Amino acid sequence: MRNNARKIVWHPSGATAEDRGPLLRQQGCVIWLTGLSGSGKSTLAGTVEKQLLEAGHLCYVLDGDNIRHGLNADLGFSAEDRTENIRRVGQVAALFADAGLITLVAFISPYRAGRSHARSAVPAGRFVEVFLDASLPVCDKRDPKGLYRKARAGEIADFTGISAPYERPEDPELILPTDTLSVEQCARRVLEYLRDHGLIAPRGEP
Amino acid sequence: MRNNARKIVWHPSGATAEDRGPLLRQQGCVIWLTGLSGSGKSTLAGTVEKQLLEAGHLCYVLDGDNIRHGLNADLGFSAEDRTENIRRVGQVAALFADAGLITLVAFISPYRAGRSHARSAVPAGRFVEVFLDASLPVCDKRDPKGLYRKARAGEIADFTGISAPYERPEDPELILPTDTLSVEQCARRVLEYLRDHGLIAPRGEP
């Protein structure tokens, strides 16, 4: 093959997020769930994921289970490593959104700077910050992983809410008070937000 | 809400790759394109991506453009950083495959260990190693980014093929001699492989 011919033929196609949207009746976006340990992030992510899949939408959950054991297996829990953990999660979420997926992120992500950095990685209107506003006593009482108990016993250092700060979102897209709302109520609000903002097609529309 | 009630209601749903497959008439997988700079990886990835999207399949390309400026912006080109670059790409590709996407990866990825690590991150049968077997003189002559010229001038250290090794795949799923095959011929072989191995539905089947 002549080099000139190759120069013409071998060019990248450059598919964009817009090329993928119609395929899925959705716009790629990041739903960033933030809140204390025990505030219900993983459970809400799983419930929204299930409802979206049942409605024919493609979505994916990024959480400690699939990130900490793989991509971020090299990171510990120092302040520096936690910052890097959230930085990478934000970048990966942006790639998933660019691929057209509704991307649910479930990490405590206690710092505004980290969440702001994640927001800046996706186009405007494609980042939905959801604050699961649960009170510390309720989270502490639930303690699904026994982490509060360990943190209080001094077995875990720098535990958010106990010995490390949680910076409340200043202007999130959604605030869900999970002390009082059920997971179904929370999931409904997330799906309503997605419909109202054109991120998924309204019911019955293609 | 009582804690007991919450324990029952707030459970994760645990959607799997199998839940997503039927939605897209495809199985999530990684198509790992490896070869010298100038062997045609990015161009082939773009062409396959376009053809898959036109056929209604969802896919995504991971390459230097979207990885090096975001997720791996903290990495340089030392041996250690290159290894970490490919490690992260392999882990992200595995997440995309788990999400149900046909994931095209276009990195030189010169070391067997790095490719083997990426393979081990996805289930058996979901990793398609494609060796773009172009000769060094042809790649050097094409030199689409002017990198061989710079490497020969000593402006780039450890450049694969010039001053750093390329370890040829020992048992790749596909070998594409891009000195002689056109990009269309190469794309056809990749799509045939996907159909033959049940990773995308055959033509005309749902």
Q: What digits encode the pLDDT tens for the residues B150-196?
A: 999 999 988 999 999 999 999 999 999 999 999 999 999 999 999 99
B96/A88 Cβ within 8 A: no
Q: What is the pLDDT of residues A102-123, one digit of tens each?
A: 999 999 999 999 999 999 999 9
Q: Which residues of chain B lie closer than 8 angstroms to A66, CB-CB?
A: 95, 98
Chain A to chain B, count of Cβ pairs less than 8 Å apart? 121
pLDDT at A4 (0 to 100): 34
Enumerate the active-site residues of B: 109
Which tokens go with A173?
A: 């897209």
pLDDT grade, residue B16 (50/70/90)? low
pLDDT at B21 (0 to 100): 52
Q: Which residues of chain B lie closer than 8 angstroms to A14, CB-CB?
A: 46
Other CB atoms within a 10 A radius of the CB of residue B124 amount to: 7
Q: pLDDT at residue A129 above 60? A: yes
A92/B95 Cβ within 8 A: yes
Question: Is A11 inside any structural domain?
Answer: no
Domain count of chain A? Answer: 1
Other CB atoms within a 10 A radius of the CB of residue A120 amount to: 11
As a dihedral over the C-alpha atoms of residue B49, residue A11, residue B184, residue B67, rounded to 10 degrees, the angle is: -40
Triad A155, A69, B97: Cα angle to 5°: 155
Bridge partners for A18 per DSSP? none
User: What's the mean pLDDT in B74-86?
Assistant: 92
A109 catalytically annotated: yes
Question: Is B64 inside any structural domain?
Answer: yes
DSSP B53-75: HHTT--EEEEEHHHIIIIITTT-
> Which of A3 and A199 is assigned the larger pLDDT?
A199
Share of chain A above pLDDT 70, in %: 86
Q: What is the pLDDT of residues B124-159, one digit of tens each?
A: 999 999 999 999 999 999 998 899 999 999 999 889
pLDDT grade, residue A79 (50/70/90)? confident
pTM comes to: 0.89
Query: The domain that contains A87 carries what CATH number?
Result: 3.40.50.300
CA–CA dist A65, B3 (Å, integer)? 24
- Helix (H) and strand (E) counts in chain B: 9, 5
Residue of A nearest to B95 (CA): A66
Question: Is A201 inside any structural domain?
Answer: no
Please tell me the distance in Å from A46's CA to the nearest CA on chain B: 5
pLDDT at B79 (0 to 100): 86
Q: What is the pLDDT of residues B43-73, one digit of tens each?
A: 999 999 999 998 989 999 999 889 999 999 9
Which of A104-118, A142-156, B85-99 bottoms out in mean pLDDT, i.e. has the lowest?
A142-156
Residue of A nearest to B62 (CA): A95
Tell me the residue range of the domain where B119 lies: 29-34+48-133+168-196
pLDDT grade, residue B18 (50/70/90)? low
- Check: CB of residue A87 under 8 Å from CB of residue A114: yes
**Which 8-state DSSP code applies to residue A56?**
T
User: What's the mean pLDDT in A156-174?
Assistant: 94
Nearest to A92 among B19, B56, B92 (CB): B92
pLDDT at B2 (0 to 100): 34
User: What's the mean pLDDT in A122-132?
Assistant: 97
> Which of A155 and A7 is assigned the larger pLDDT?
A155
B70/A94 Cβ within 8 A: yes
pLDDT grade, residue A16 (50/70/90)? low
Question: Is A173 inside any structural domain?
Answer: yes
Residue of A nearest to B9 (CA): A183
A96/B99 Cβ within 8 A: yes
Question: Is A14 inside any structural domain?
Answer: no
Question: Is B189 inside any structural domain?
Answer: yes
N- to C-terminal Cα separation, chain B: 45
B30 Cβ neighbours under 8 A, 6+ residues apart:
B93, B94, B96, B97, B103, B105, B118, B122, B126, B127, B128
User: What's the mean pLDDT in A12-32?
Assistant: 70
Question: Is A4 inside any structural domain?
Answer: no
A10/B43 Cβ within 8 A: yes
Residue of A nearest to B96 (CA): A96
**Which 8-state DSSP code applies to residue B202?**
P
| Averaged confidence pLDDT in chain A | 88
Of the residues A109, A116, A163, A182, only one is catalytic, namely: A109
Question: Is A13 inside any structural domain?
Answer: no
Q: Which residues of chain B lie closer than 8 angstroms to A98, CB-CB?
A: 60, 66
Which tokens go with B197?
A: 């191995």
